[in-house]
Chains A and B, each alone.
Chain A
Amino acid sequence: MTDARNEWVGFSPRRVWMIAVNTLTESVRQKVYLIMILFALVLISSASFFSQFGFGETGGQEALEQLKFIKDFCLGAISVFGMLIAIVGTAQLIPNELENRTIYTILSKPVRRFEFLLGKYAGSALLVLVSVVMMSVMFGAALKFKGDNYLKVTQQSVGQAQDAGTMEEAVRQMQKIRAAVYDPDLVKALLLTFVKLALLAAITLLVSTFSTSMVFNVAVALLIFFAGHLVGPAKEKWAESGAARFLLTLIPDLSVFNVADDVILGNAIPWLYVAKVVVYGAVYLVCVIAAAHFVFADREI
């Protein structure tokens, strides 16, 4: 007979993964997220129809403006819906586990509390990742659709060009449109959006480790989300006060993840900046998960 006194249960990434997959399955099967994602997809795909195809004599600039509008609109939509999914998807995890008593059945098995917490978080981060990827693909498709349309029209104007000057102008225009559609900085913006949402999900999880109410979790997470976007300006304003600066470092500066405006204006975003911000997000994330672990390890269920 096996004797538990001589056995050992270590940390198991496999169990974390099982809990993550189960969390994701549970979320996906709750129709609320599907509807949310579906709505976002419809909104994003319709961005290219919001404006009429106006392309006159001087219309070259307008095409670029339209593409800018699509980028602005879609990046905004991804950020907002991603935020909703990250907060609502995470805020209900632990309250639901308690309400359905599933937390008892899991923690009464040889499962470590940290594995449970990490699995729940990973499941939520996966949900955010899947949502962001789906919305990004739709965004890319909408952008390409609109861009291809403009290219086709410009192509025609090249054919009809009377003189070399107009032709050159049209070719340059086509290059600009291509550059606007296949802009690698869009990937950077989407990556940073995901890191921001993953961090937001972790913060929501931390809040839910010491409360039992989902409404409270959502409210506090939203508050931190908005506060996070005001930290940058606040730091500048209270630069002299050490105490204020310390308090402000407790809230992550979420505005550093927002590079959408620069992408839209065509300002280059160096990879070094992206790397720095990703590391900033990762360090914050580890700290938040660690804090959540300390609270949860000490919580009676």
Chain B
Amino acid sequence: MMDAIRTENLTKKYNLGWGRGRLLALDGLNLRVCEGEVYGLLGPNGSGKSTTLKLILDLVWPTSGAAWIFDVPCNKVVSRLHVGFLPENPYFYKYLTGAETLEFYGRLCGLSGAALRKRVDELLEMVGLARARDRRLAGYSKGMLQRIGLAQALVHDPKLLLLDEPTAGVDPIGSKDIRDLILRLKGMGKTVLLSSHLLAQVQDVCDRIGVLNLGKMILEGEVSQLVSDQQRLSFTVQGLPESGRAAVESAVAAAGGVVVSVEHPQTTLETLFLEALRKDKRGAGEHD
């Protein structure tokens, strides 16, 4: 299978100017993103995530090394035919409405007429902005901007999506929507490379992750393998009386195991939050 993205020794040094030397933003990155997978690029601020995406999109140029999109060198315009990009904190053209924004990007990608209108309707529906289609972007909330950003990245139905911090600054419901959307896109066979520093959010959607720090890849692998603790096993039991607990513990000890901890499982605050909003009869959040 063809790699959606491949980089070889990709290195980027930024000139700081006025004799202050150069900043090593990315140091010999070898990245492979397979077709159809969701890959998460993680790392603290300034670790080189955005630089990696910009290098892949030919917005900045490597000091050394090279990158390919579907085997086409990144410095060729044609490499971007099948790529959609959502930049970090996008603002877009404030004076355009949601529908006009998508029409503009659609036209840039060669769509027109009925096909364009159909695509715009489809996308607005998909990202849940159908009711806000005729409102100017100046009045959109952060979450809505992020969703219109996703829609513009998808306008030409690209095979590969690059999302820079897609859930940053978005409330938990918006963030959940975006993650659901990413999973839907994966189901449609798209490849997604996303960058994030919100680790818990990435865990649900990514097949593989790579961790960058100070421009270097320090950890990479499949999420399910990285986070599962092969040495330990946890049971979640319901309806066990207090007396039964001693029996279970002795049974574990008899079989040669050690009980490390016994506790009531906790839900995450996020689950609790989403559940509370779901129960609110007036609907959840702004959403349009």
Contacts and interface: CB of A to CB of B under 8 A. Distances in A.
A8 B78 contact: yes
Interface string B42-67: 00000000000010011111000000
Task: Report the interface size class on chain A.
Answer: 20 to 34
A102 interface: yes
A75 B59 CA distance: 44
Interface in B27-43: none
A300 B61 contact: yes
A30 B95 contact: yes
Given A3-B70, A18-B107, A26-B93, A108 B57 contact: yes
Interface stretch (A65-73, A109-117, A164-172, A182-190): A109-117
Contacts of A110: 77-78, 80-81, 109
Given A15-B108, A300-B59, A301-B60, A108 B95 contact: no
A105 B80 contact: no
A5 B71 contact: yes
A4 B90 contact: no
Nearest to B72: A4
A4 B59 contact: no
B83 interface: yes
B87 interface: yes
B69 A101 contact: no
Contacts of A7: 78, 81
Interface string A1-41: 01111011100001100110010011001100000000000
A52 interface: no
Contacts of B95: 25-26, 29-30
Contact of B108 (A19, A100, A301): A19
A109 B109 contact: yes
Contacts of B162: 108
Interface string A69-107: 000000000000000000000000000000111101111
Q: What range describes how many residues of B lie at the interface?
A: 35 or more
Contacts of B80: 108-110
Contacts of B60: 300-301
A92 B149 CA distance: 23
A3 B78 CA distance: 10
B59 A26 contact: no
A95 to B, nearest CB: 13
A296 to B, nearest CB: 12
A5 B70 CA distance: 8
Contacts, number: 100
B152 interface: yes
B82 to A, nearest CB: 6
Nearest to B2: A3
B232 to A, nearest CB: 44
A4 B70 contact: yes
B58 to A, nearest CB: 8
A9 B83 CA distance: 14
Interface in B72-131: 72, 77-96, 104-105, 107-109
Given A5-B71, A9-B77, A110-B78, A102 B92 contact: yes
Nearest to A27: B95
Nearest to B91: A100
B90 A105 contact: yes
Given A108-B85, A110-B81, A100 B69 contact: no
A100 B137 CA distance: 12
Interface in B127-176: 149, 152-153, 156, 162
Contacts of B93: 22, 26, 100, 102
Contacts of A4: 69-72, 78-79, 81-82
A94 to B, nearest CB: 14
A157 B280 CA distance: 85
Interface string A278-300: 00000000000000000000001
B108 A107 contact: no
B90 A5 contact: no
Most B-side CB within 10 Å, residue of A8, A99, A107, A108: A108
B70 to A, nearest CB: 5
Contacts of A111: 77, 108
Contact of A109 (B86, B89, B108): B108
Contact of B57 (A14, A29, A107): A107
Give the 9 A-B CB pairs with smallest separation, nearest first. A108-B85, A29-B95, A100-B91, A104-B87, A300-B60, A101-B87, A9-B77, A108-B57, A301-B59
Interface of A: 2-5, 7-9, 14-15, 18-19, 22, 25-26, 29-30, 99-102, 104-112, 300-301
18 contacts: A2-B81, A4-B78, A18-B104, A22-B104, A101-B87, A101-B91, A101-B92, A102-B92, A105-B92, A105-B152, A108-B80, A108-B84, A108-B87, A109-B105, A109-B109, A110-B80, A111-B108, A300-B61
Given A106-B108, A109-B109, 17 more contacts: A5-B71, A14-B107, A18-B104, A26-B93, A29-B95, A102-B90, A102-B91, A102-B93, A104-B87, A105-B152, A107-B59, A108-B85, A109-B83, A109-B85, A109-B156, A110-B109, A300-B59
